[in-house]
Amino acid sequence: MQADMEFLHEEILRLKEKKRAIILSHNYQREEVQDIADFVGDSLELSRTASTIDCEVIVFCGVNFMAESASVLSPEKTVLLPESEAACPMADMIKVEGPRKLWKSYPGYESQPALVFPLEYSLRDIKREFPGVPVVAYVNTTADVKAESDICCTSSNVVKVVESLPGERVICVPDRNLSMWAQRNTKKQVISWDGFCHVHDRITKKDALKAKEAHPGALLMAHPECRPEVLDIADHVTSTSGMLRFANASEASEFIVGTELGLMHRLKKENPEKVFHPLRPDMICPNMKKTTLKSIHRALTEMTHVVKVPEDIRIPAKRALDRMLEIR
């Protein structure tokens, strides 16, 4: 480690102790951020940790919806997002209410296996069209979208969440690929929305076949934010930490990793004898890479940027997150 990095590392540990802070890191964060964190995990694990951990300050190394969820679940703690501009473009796509094209009803929804609403429609537009149908909000949403929803889900529990709901239909926002993945694993009709993650959705079937051809014998793990045609040829579809569990337990020695490259760090660290190939070398989420040791140090020194959700949104958003956390 370089001298300035070493200094930052030591300072962060000192400040953390002094302020009774805990550092949470998503699996996509930079290596040095993951290495200094108290907990590294996927969205579900980090939500669970944020709701139960004993501390005064949570430094959330991830993107803003994750820090928001931590604050919703633990309003008594100070939640800091070291980089205020670290956002998730998919989470920012869907709005609770907003301008839209005039429309009566979306044609063909009775017969379609997965109905996908175009981006012009707000969450309330869809709810008006399907009154009484429960709404599942992916955790990659803003707190006000969660507050308008019945329950949250993550990539690791979406099918369980959909199955837990009454009735034959569910509305699932905002990721069309995750919704289609849920649709393939449930008999219910999943009414979706046209959001997507630019990191995962850019992967084509051709890319996946090319990676398989380059590494015959390697198992392909893919995140459910990838397109259905990619998931079709994957050996295992799961969340980021699900990939870790799969690779750790597998007898196979070679894997193709169909998610953001930050996960490679833990995969390699926990399985030094196994080989991991990125599905495509440009699977990088720029927002997840904004946080550095420098920004964590600044966050703890200046106590910035505090993420706080107003009570009228926090309480219904917490209800949706709590309902998800009750599902095992």
Q: Which residues bind ligand 13P (CB under 6 A)?
A: 27, 42-43, 140, 154-155, 197, 225, 239-240
- Alpha helix segments (H runs only) across the chain: 3-18, 31-36, 43-52, 64-73, 123-129, 143-147, 158-164, 176-184, 198-201, 205-214, 228-232, 240-249, 263-270, 293-302, 311-326
Closest approach, Cβ 285 to ligand SF4, in A, equals 3
Q: Which residue in 287, 291, 292, 295 binds ligand SF4 (CB under 6 A)? A: 287
Closest approach, Cβ 143 to ligand SF4, in A, equals 16
Ordered DSSP codes for 145-159? HHHTSSEEE-TTTHH
Angle in degrees, CA 235, 237, 238, rounded to 5:
140
> Which partner, ligand 13P, ligand SF4, none, binds residue 239 by CB below 5 to 8 Å per kind?
ligand 13P
Q: Which residue in 226, 288, 300, 313 binds ligand SF4 (CB under 6 A)? A: 288
Task: Please report, in angstroms and rounded to a whole number, the separation of the first and last CA atoms in the chain.
Answer: 40
> Which partner, ligand 13P, ligand SF4, none, binds residue 89 by CB below 5 to 8 Å per kind?
ligand SF4
Closest approach, Cβ 166 to ligand 13P, in A, equals 26
Binding window for ligand SF4 (CB under 6 A); candidates: 72-80, 194-202, 237-245, 301-309: 194-202
Angle in degrees, CA 273, 274, 278, rounded to 5:
145
Residue 8 or residue 58: which is nearer to ligand 13P going by CB?
58
Alpha-carbon distances, residue 8 vs 61, 84, 189, 292 (angstroms): 16, 20, 51, 10
Residue 158 to residue 156: CA distance in whole angstroms: 6
The residues facing 135 across adjacent strands are 171
Closest approach, Cβ 142 to ligand 13P, in A, equals 14
Single out the residue of 20, 78, 29 nearest to residue 307, CA to CA: 78
Sequence-distant (6+) residues with CB within 8 A of 160 are: 327
Closest approach, Cβ 300 to ligand 13P, in A, equals 24
Residue 23 to residue 12: CA distance in whole angstroms: 10
> Which partner, ligand 13P, ligand SF4, none, binds residue 75 by CB below 5 to 8 Å per kind?
none
DSSP character at residue 16? H
Residue 192 to residue 194: CA distance in whole angstroms: 7
Single out the residue of 202, 192, 197, 267 nearest to residue 236, CA to CA: 267
> Which partner, ligand 13P, ligand SF4, none, binds residue 317 by CB below 5 to 8 Å per kind?
none
Q: Which of residues 66-125 bind ligand SF4 (CB under 6 A)?
A: 88-90
Residue 125 or residue 242: which is nearer to ligand 13P going by CB?
242
For ligand SF4, what does the binding mask look like between residues 140 and 159, x meaning CB under 6 A? x-------------------
Instruction: Based on the shown chain and the rule CB under 6 A, indicate whether residue 278 belongs to the binding site for ligand SF4.
Output: no
Q: Which residue in 55, 58, 63, 190 binds ligand SF4 (CB under 6 A)? A: 63
Binding window for ligand SF4 (CB under 6 A); candidates: 100-108, 179-187, 197-205, 303-311: 197-205
Cβ-based neighbour number of residue 140 at 10 Å = 29
> Which partner, ligand 13P, ligand SF4, none, binds residue 287 by CB below 5 to 8 Å per kind?
ligand SF4
Residue 69 or residue 189: which is nearer to ligand 13P going by CB?
69
Chain contacts with ligand SF4 (rule: CB under 6 A): 63, 88-90, 140, 197-199, 260, 285, 287-288
